């Protein structure tokens, strides 16, 4: 018997708007209108402004550890814009704030989260978002389950889950991909490949030459896009979402981007990254190239930018005010959300927490009335 | 979503059924595993959102046959054979619950909870708290538990204390068909994640029992007084209830022991234990799990906090040893048996 090929595959890489702001008109056809691009550009700028402010809040001691989103705005916005707010679900990790805001999460919630306040995760009714997920790669299974439930219940929604390149080394990533493909759930696996998992570069994270090809093992359509290219991200996301909504099952998108900032404010990327590499990626900034494009089309100018910067500043200070203006949570919150109904032992602890002797009433230790 | 048959047909017609002489109530004769299957069928009949998923739970009906016949009745969409992937089962069940379903994932043996621990403890248990009530995970994780069935490695452990230590989870372990049916129905109705440990050693032992066929619930967090007594309180749960009963038979007739089956480990029915020990002044706790940091340690602590002035003797624990659970040739030496329980009871009475 001759040796035959049972399977072979290729991974496409889509790029529509290059780093100089030059658009491939052919590929850009039927993607975003000028009005939409303008709207999304302004969104990206405002998110960048808030991100910079969040960094300063941490540095000045007004907020805890914070992971900057800088440089990844096109990936977040382009994908989220392709999803239907209130119908589709976003299942994030923690570097796609812009997507969450676009889908209705009040902007100060993310700051609250990093200010050590669970109310930042108290997603309002009707907003289809799960809270930021700190452990790496675990949330993808929830996206698989949520979209599976939608399929079973006949709801025409999809779930997009976000994660980084490092997360694809976790077992849960593979289990989520496998479950989604076996059940043909409407799930979009959106990898923000930002080249670094804290200090470990992608080439030491995996031996495969792309992240996208991992989806091939699960029989899942996959594509690689320039993650700093709003048009390419949007196109790939829209296509994947349309396919999922039509019953075509899950898809995988690898958005090749770059973490322009440190992993978090607790990290110093200068310890492990070559400044030449960082500098090269600064030149590929998704906001700068989009602005160049808009200016070249006569849709944007310095005056409009100045106006937007002002509006951004005002919005940011309002968001910060909302996050900082909220009263400290009630101490009883520690207890009240552990179960739907508080069990007797926990009720005793709740009632007696200030006596430093759990199980004793305040009267027993002479603290009554204090 | 559709059921493959109507809700009217009784599930598993092979089970013997009769009408109760007194109240005219329909009774069905079940062992523990049959009671579980019957309850799953009834809950799935009642609520389209309830679904089972796990390894081999579909066509094969589960390795212990706990889901036998369910896929035929409810179809492949609601009784799902999943990939061999415990974290996948647990994590996607969490998503299913968040998406409006009432999933009942099965982990085939307690030893394989390990790969699912992260999803169970770091997500299912925490979602309500970390979202301040915005997102909840109503699901029941069914897990066969414990030793005594000549099973291979990692098929015989008793990890209930590990999960009782995790805030946000509820931990249930029935010992009889009657309790299994009522507790499982209550667990499925519960708005929080519940681990439902099924003591595999008594899945089919000792005999079938006549239990009400119609749906009933037994509240989580309520212990059962198996037999009343005045001299000593014997607290246990799961398969050890039967070792305790054997010990009671072996004790002299003038020894009056109050036997408590906890039924739910978390939340714990503290009141029943405390009230009993305050009455008897003596307590022996029995469990299969290793002694150190076993749930007996917690019980013992609660007893000294609440019954100190009533105690006539130190609280004794009859437990598994602080070793790896041996392979089955030595498992009966490891597991608490009636002899060890009798000895502990006699020592405590003689103190």
CATH of the domain at A239: 3.40.50.970
Q: Mean pLDDT for chain A? A: 95
Per CB-CB distance under 8 Å, the chain A contacts of B190 are 340
Per-residue pLDDT, averaged over B173-196, amounts to 98
Residue of B nearest to A117 (CA): B130
B96–A138 C-beta distance less than 8 A = no
Residues B223-232: tens digit of each pLDDT: 999 999 999 9
Q: What is the value of ipTM here, to two decimals?
A: 0.93
CA atoms within 13 A on the CB side of A182: 18
How many residues are listed for chain A in this entry? Answer: 370
Of B88, B168, B305, the CB nearest to A141: B88
Q: Which SS3 state, helix, strand or coil, does residue B209 take?
A: strand
**Closest-CA distance of chain A to residue B203, Å:** 29
Per-residue confidence band for B23, with pLDDT thresholds at 50, 70 and 90: confident
Per CB-CB distance under 8 Å, the chain B contacts of A119 are 132
- Rounded to 5°, angle at Cα B160 from B156 and B166: 140
**Residue A196 domain flag:** yes
Per CB-CB distance under 8 Å, the chain B contacts of A121 are 130-132, 134
Per-residue pLDDT, averaged over A321-330, amounts to 96
Q: Which of B86, B99, B105, B124 to mutate to test the interface with A (most CBs of A within 10 A)?
A: B99
pLDDT of residue B205: 84
pLDDT of residue B39: 98
* Residue showing tokens 């997507």: A99
Query: Alpha-carbon distance B312 to A299, whole Å?
Result: 88
CA atoms within 13 A on the CB side of A185: 34
Give the residue, A314 or B2, on which the prediction is more confident: A314
Is residue A174 flagged as an active site residue? Answer: no
Q: Where in chain B is the domain with CATH 3.40.50.970?
A: 17-212
Q: Strand A200-201 and strand A196-197: pairing? A: antiparallel
**Closest-CA distance of chain B to residue A215, Å:** 16
Per CB-CB distance under 8 Å, the chain A contacts of B91 are 138, 140-142, 144-145, 172, 175-176
pLDDT of residue B10: 86
**Residue A1 domain flag:** no
Q: Is A164 left (phi over 0), alpha (psi -120 to 50) or beta?
A: beta
Do A184 and A245 touch, CB atoms closer than 8 A? no
Q: Which SS3 state, helix, strand or coil, does residue B179 take?
A: helix
Residues A222 and A358 in one domain: no
Query: Alpha-carbon distance A280 to B165, whole Å?
Result: 50
Query: Alpha-carbon distance A208 to A196, whole Å?
Result: 15
B278 contact A CB<8A = no
CB pairs under 8 A between A and B: 148
Residues A243 and A343 in one domain: no
B192–A179 C-beta distance less than 8 A = no
Do A126 and A105 touch, CB atoms closer than 8 A? no
B92–A339 C-beta distance less than 8 A = no
Q: Which domain holds residue A29?
A: 13-325
Do A142 and A149 touch, CB atoms closer than 8 A? no
pLDDT of residue B2: 40
Query: Alpha-carbon distance A119 to A132, whole Å?
Result: 12
Residues A163-183: tens digit of each pLDDT: 999 999 999 999 999 999 999
Q: Using a pLDDT cut of 90, give the percent of chain B over it.
A: 95
Rounded (10°) angle between helices B240-250 and B338-350: 60
B130–A131 C-beta distance less than 8 A = yes
B128–A138 C-beta distance less than 8 A = no
Residues A260 and A190 in one domain: yes
**Last residue of some domain: A307, A325, A343?**
A325
B99–A149 C-beta distance less than 8 A = yes
CB atoms < 10 A from the CB of A78, how many?
A: 32
Residues A158 and A26 in one domain: yes
Residues A360 and A241 in one domain: no
Which whole-number Å values give the CA distances from A284 to A16, A71, A361, B151, B173, in the listed order? 13, 9, 63, 60, 58
Per-residue confidence band for B30, with pLDDT thresholds at 50, 70 and 90: very high
B270–A123 C-beta distance less than 8 A = no
Residues A347 and A288 in one domain: no
Of B82, B134, B270, the CB nearest to A123: B134
Q: Which SS3 state, helix, strand or coil, does residue B16 take?
A: coil
Per-residue pLDDT, averaged over B308-323, amounts to 97
pLDDT of residue A356: 60
Q: What is the DSSP letter of B12?
A: -
Three-class DSSP labels, chain A: CCCCCCCCCCCCEECCECCCCCECHHHHCCCCCHHHHHHHHHHHHHHHHHHHHHHHHHHCCCCCCCCCCCCCHHHHHHHHHHCCCCCCEEECCCCCHHHHHHCCCCHHHHHHHHCCCHHHHCCCCCCCECCCCCCCCCHHHHHHHHHHHHHHHCCCCCEEEEEECHHHHCHHHHHHHHHHHHHCCCEEEEEEECCEECCEEHHHHCCCCCCHHHHHHHCCCEEEEECCCHHHHHHHHHHHHHHHHCCCCCEEEEEECCCCCCCCCCCCHHHCCCHHHHHHHHCCCHHHHHHHHHHHCCCCCHHHHHHHHHHHHHHHHHHHHHHHHCCCCCCCHHHHCCCCCCCHHHHHHHHHHHHCCCCCCCCCCCCCCC
pLDDT of residue B9: 80
B119 contact A CB<8A = yes
Pick the CATH number of B17-212 from 3.30.910.10, 3.30.70.270, 3.40.50.970, 3.90.1170.50: 3.40.50.970
**Residue A4 domain flag:** no
Per-residue pLDDT, averaged over A126-138, amounts to 96
Is residue A94 flagged as an active site residue? Answer: no
**Closest-CA distance of chain A to residue B242, Å:** 28
CB neighbour list of residue A325: distance below 8 Å, 6 or more residues apart: none
Per-residue confidence band for B19, with pLDDT thresholds at 50, 70 and 90: very high
A122 contact B CB<8A = yes
Of A119, A121, A145, the CB nearest to B96: A145
Query: Alpha-carbon distance B248 to B263, whole Å?
Result: 19
Query: Alpha-carbon distance B122 to B197, whole Å?
Result: 19
Of B119, B122, B221, the CB nearest to A343: B221
Per-residue confidence band for B200, with pLDDT thresholds at 50, 70 and 90: very high
Q: Mean pLDDT for chain B? A: 96
Q: Which H or E element spans position B272?
A: helix B270-280
A333 contact B CB<8A = yes
Q: What is the DSSP letter of B10?
A: P
Residues A208 and A343 in one domain: no
B24 contact A CB<8A = no
CB atoms < 10 A from the CB of B154, how many?
A: 13
Per-residue confidence band for B21, with pLDDT thresholds at 50, 70 and 90: confident
Residues A295 and A352 in one domain: no
Q: Where in chain B is the domain with CATH 3.40.50.920?
A: 224-350
Phi and psi at A201, nearest 5°, equal -75, 160
Number of domains in chain A: 2
Per-residue confidence band for A359, with pLDDT thresholds at 50, 70 and 90: low
Per CB-CB distance under 8 Å, the chain A contacts of B136 are 340
Residues A230 and A345 in one domain: no
Per CB-CB distance under 8 Å, the chain A contacts of B170 are 339
Q: Which of B167, B165, B160 is nearest to B195 (CA)?
A: B160
A119 contact B CB<8A = yes
Of A141, A182, A340, the CB nearest to B95: A141
Which whole-number Å values give the CA distances from A266 to A49, A67, A198, A216, B332, in the listed order? 20, 9, 11, 36, 53
Give the residue, A174 or A357, on which the prediction is more confident: A174
CB neighbour list of residue A6: distance below 8 Å, 6 or more residues apart: none
**Closest-CA distance of chain B to residue A131, Å:** 7
Q: Is the pLDDT of residue A96 over 60?
A: yes
pLDDT of residue B5: 45
pLDDT of residue A365: 57
Q: Which H or E element spans position B187?
A: helix B177-189
pTM (2 d.p.): 0.94
Chain B window 59-98: which residues touch A at a Cβ cutoff of 8 Å?
77, 80, 82-83, 85, 87-88, 90-98
B115 contact A CB<8A = yes
**Closest-CA distance of chain B to residue A174, Å:** 9
Residue of A nearest to B96 (CA): A145
Per-residue confidence band for B3, with pLDDT thresholds at 50, 70 and 90: very low
Residues A210 and A282 in one domain: yes
Q: Is the pLDDT of residue B1 over 90?
A: no
Per CB-CB distance under 8 Å, the chain B contacts of A135 are 118, 122
pLDDT of residue A329: 94
Residues A282 and A370 in one domain: no
Per CB-CB distance under 8 Å, the chain A contacts of B169 are none
Pick the CATH number of B224-350 from 3.30.1330.80, 1.10.274.100, 3.30.200.20, 3.40.50.920: 3.40.50.920
Q: Which SS3 state, helix, strand or coil, does residue B84 take?
A: coil
Q: Which of A145, A167, A178, A350 to mutate to test the interface with B (most CBs of B within 10 A)?
A: A145
Query: Alpha-carbon distance A329 to A237, whole Å?
Result: 38
**Closest-CA distance of chain B to residue A320, Å:** 21
CA distance between the termini of chain A: 88
CA torsion, points A322, A328, A331, A332, in degrees to nearest 10? Answer: -30
Q: Which residues of B are annotated as catalytic?
A: 155
Residue of A nearest to B88 (CA): A175
B123–A344 C-beta distance less than 8 A = no
Q: Which of A350-354, B88-92, B132-136 is least confident?
A: A350-354
Residues B158-174: tens digit of each pLDDT: 999 999 999 999 999 99
Residues A301 and A221 in one domain: yes
């Amino acid at each position: 018997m001759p040796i035959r090929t049972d399977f072979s595959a290729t991974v496409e890489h889509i790029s529509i708007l290059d780093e100089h702001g030059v658009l491939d008109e052919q590929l850009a056809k039927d993607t975003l209108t000028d009005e939409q691009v303008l709207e999304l550009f302004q969104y990206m700028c405002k998110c960048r402004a808030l991100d910079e402010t969040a960094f300063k809040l941490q540095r000045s001691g007004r907020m805890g550890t914070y992971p900057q989103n800088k440089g990844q705005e096109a990936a977040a916005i382009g994908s989220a814009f392709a999803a239907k707010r209130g119908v589709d679900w976003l299942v994030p990790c923690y570097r796609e704030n812009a997507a969450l805001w676009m889908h209705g999460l009040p902007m100060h919630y993310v700051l609250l989260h990093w200010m050590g306040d669970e109310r930042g995760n108290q997603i309002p009714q009707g907003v289809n978002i799960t809270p930021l997920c700190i452990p790496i790669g675990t949330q993808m299974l929830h996206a698989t389950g949520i979209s599976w439930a939608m399929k079973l219940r006949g709801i025409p929604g999809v779930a997009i889950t976000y994660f980084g390149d490092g997360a694809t080394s976790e077992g849960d990533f593979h289990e989520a991909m496998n479950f989604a493909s076996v059940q043909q759930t409407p799930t979009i696996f959106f990898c923000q490949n930002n080249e670094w998992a804290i200090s470990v570069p992608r080439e030491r994270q995996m031996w495969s030459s792309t992240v996208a090809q991992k989806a091939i093992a699960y029989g899942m359509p996959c594509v690689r896009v320039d993650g700093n290219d709003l048009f390419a991200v949007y196109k790939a996301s829209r296509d994947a979402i349309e396919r999922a909504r039509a019953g075509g099952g899950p898809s995988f998108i690898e958005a090749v981007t770059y973490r322009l900032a440190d992993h978090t404010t607790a990290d110093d990327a200068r310890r492990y990254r070559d400044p030449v590499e960082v500098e090269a990626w600064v030149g590929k900034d998704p906001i700068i190239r989009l602005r160049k494009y808009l200016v070249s089309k006569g849709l944007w100018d310095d005056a409009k930018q100045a106006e937007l910067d002002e509006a951004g500043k005002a919005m940011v200070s309002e968001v910060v005010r909302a996050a900082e203006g909220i009263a400290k949570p009630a101490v009883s919150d520690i207890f009240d959300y552990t179960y739907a109904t508080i069990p007797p032992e926990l009720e005793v602890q709740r009632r007696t927490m200030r006596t430093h002797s759990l199980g004793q009433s305040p009267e027993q230790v002479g603290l009554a009335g204090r | 979503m559709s059921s493959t048959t109507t809700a009217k047909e009784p599930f598993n017609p092979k089970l013997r059924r009769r009408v109760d002489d007194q109240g005219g109530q329909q009774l069905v004769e079940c062992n523990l595993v049959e009671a579980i299957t019957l309850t799953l069928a009834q809950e799935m009949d009642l609520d389209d959102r309830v679904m089972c998923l796990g390894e081999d739970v579909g066509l094969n009906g589960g390795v212990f046959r706990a889901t036998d016949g369910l896929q035929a009745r409810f179809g492949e969409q609601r009784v799902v054979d999943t990939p061999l992937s415990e974290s996948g089962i647990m994590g996607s069940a969490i998503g299913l619950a968040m998406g409006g379903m009432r999933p009942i994932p099965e982990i085939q043996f307690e030893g394989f909870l390990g790969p699912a621990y992260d999803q169970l403890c770091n997500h299912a248990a925490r979602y309500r708290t970390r979202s301040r009530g915005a997102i909840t995970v109503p699901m029941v994780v069914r897990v066969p538990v414990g030793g005594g069935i000549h099973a291979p490695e990692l098929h015989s452990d008793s990890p209930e204390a590990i999960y009782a230590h995790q805030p946000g989870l509820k931990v249930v372990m029935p010992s009889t068909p009657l309790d299994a049916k009522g507790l499982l129905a209550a667990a499925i109705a519960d708005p929080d994640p519940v681990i439902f440990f099924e003591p595999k050693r008594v899945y089919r032992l000792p005999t079938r029992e006549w239990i009400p066929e119609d749906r009933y619930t037994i509240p989580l967090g309520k212990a059962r007084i198996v037999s009343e007594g005045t001299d000593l309180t014997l607290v246990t749960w799961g398969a050890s209830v039967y070792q305790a009963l054997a010990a009671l038979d072996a004790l002299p007739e003038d020894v009056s022991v109050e036997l408590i089956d906890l039924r739910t480990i978390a939340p714990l029915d503290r009141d029943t234990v405390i009230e009993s020990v305050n009455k008897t002044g003596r307590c022996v706790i029995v469990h299969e799990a290793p002694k150190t940091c076993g749930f007996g340690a917690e019980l013992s602590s609660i007893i000294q906090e609440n019954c100190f002035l009533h105690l006539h003797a130190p609280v004794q624990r009859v437990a598994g040893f602080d070793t790896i659970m041996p392979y089955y040739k030595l498992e009966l030496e490891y597991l608490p048996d009636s002899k060890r329980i009798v000895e502990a009871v006699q020592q405590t009475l003689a103190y």
